[in-house]
Structure 1
């Protein structure tokens, strides 16, 4: 089941679980279902992340065009607060963010469209996340928004306990450095009348 988040082109995805006394079956990805929901994804790679401690913050990451990426994020062990930040200048939700708890128990997934930064904070110890990625990693196109940039004022659930040097060093929001002009047409081209 696909549910809009309030950010243009992003969705929460709840699995359609078929279960009995043995357990359950659910399809995590079906190209036809994603396309019918207007959420295209050509999977270029599948990544996983493991974090040892609650309070680990990763983000806010994205890639510039032409390597901009779609992500579908699922927490398969533990619990996270997952966050999307819209950086598409033509989007009616530019500069807005959305956060949601994803956990191994709720099995919920988050669809992150191109032109949005993504980050997360672990809510428990021993957390593993899997990402379906619409583009391969490209170091020369990598960018990040500082997790506590006052321009966006993301309301994280807690102060981070663990944060990489790289994530702590992202500069304050600057449209030129952050390359948002490369996203100018994403909201209109990919999202039709929503952008």
Structure 2
């Protein structure tokens, strides 16, 4: 596994190194020792899978306030997504900045997102499945979000979202909320 820090402190693009033979390939997708060596929180408390039937499906930008926070590891296991991390840590030098990577089944990459950073994605293909690993179990009612098109964040989405939840359609702008509470 190779870890490359993005332009946002603590957000890492993780590349797997598959071992190929006549059967296909095998690749390690998580290693406690590797995460510890990079001083990253272990995303091992819970896993989830989202299926997205249509290209242009948007999820996010979601986060857990710092007091309750979580880190996550995100990987696309079929199809492709444009994955986004947006820094909501007010004390961070990259507060209100974002970074993105294309995650897909072929590149086998993942994005590690630490506490205090919002996450979202738009699907680039039909039938995209996204696997999440979380550092904390799900706690109903603590997740928050900011609008996908928040001008203070300014994400440059490569495709216009065509499908999203009613909740994501009505998320507030960052200027309307306190990301710490």
* TM beyond 0.5: yes
Which whole-Å CA distance do the structure 1 matches of 2:173 and 2:41 have between them? Answer: 31
Q: Which residue of 2 aligns with 1:189?
A: none
Deviation larger for 36-45 or 103-112: 36-45
| 4+ residue runs over 6 A deviation | none
Which whole-Å CA distance do the structure 1 matches of 2:168 and 2:96 have between them? Answer: 19
Structure that is richer in helix per residue: 1
Q: Which residue of 2 aligns with 1:74?
A: 75
Which whole-Å CA distance do the structure 2 matches of 1:114 and 1:88 have between them? Answer: 9
Which whole-Å CA distance do the structure 1 matches of 2:179 and 2:145 have between them? Answer: 11
| Alpha-carbon shift at residue 42 of structure 1 (Å) | 4.4
Which whole-Å CA distance do the structure 2 matches of 1:181 and 1:110 have between them? Answer: 23
Which runs of no fewer than 5 residues in structure 1 stay unpaired?
Answer: 183-195
Q: Which residue of 2 aligns with 1:162?
A: 163
Which whole-Å CA distance do the structure 2 matches of 1:172 and 1:36 have between them? Answer: 36
Counterpart check, 1:50 vs 2:39: no
Which whole-Å CA distance do the structure 1 matches of 2:90 and 2:120 have between them? Answer: 20
Q: How many residue pairs were aligned? A: 180
Q: Which residue of 2 aligns with 1:148?
A: 149
Which whole-Å CA distance do the structure 2 matches of 1:52 and 1:181 have between them? Answer: 33
Which whole-Å CA distance do the structure 2 matches of 1:96 and 1:42 have between them? Answer: 23
Q: Which residue of 2 aligns with 1:180?
A: 179
